[in-house]
Amino acid sequence: MSLTEAPSFSQLETFPNPNPGRQYVIEILCPEFTSLCPKTGQPDFGTITFTYTPGEKCVELKSLKLYLQRYRNQGAFYETVVNKLLDDFVSAAKPVRCQVVGAFTPRGGITTRVVCVHEADGAGGAGS
């Protein structure tokens, strides 16, 4: 697969949750995220954090790394990127709960942090 290919949830691989009877939290920190500003074409840099309670599946980290690298050539606003990251992660892994945080480096003296949350039906949340 080419890294210039648009990101898609189908690029995320999963494996069976080794402890499906236990609710626990996995946090994945990705401090080298890069995408492009859709207005200027300049690179945007940030840290993406996935925090999730797995259901039947966990996300395989190498596939997540390669998936995130595909954003390097994608022009998108922060809000669009973080919402798509959440949607694709949920589509691939079907977690009980997932939060994705995009903490982007300052540009023009402004720092942006975007938080998106998904809770599976019956998990005590209001849905995605």
| Residue 58 among the catalytic residues | no
37 classed as catalytic: yes
C-alpha gyration radius of the chain: 15
Active-site residue, selected from the candidate residues 30, 44, 58, 116: 44
What's the CA gap between 99 and 81, in Å, rounded?
A: 14
Torsion angle, alpha carbons of 112, 68, 85, 28, to 10: -80
- Catalytically active residues, by annotation: 37, 44
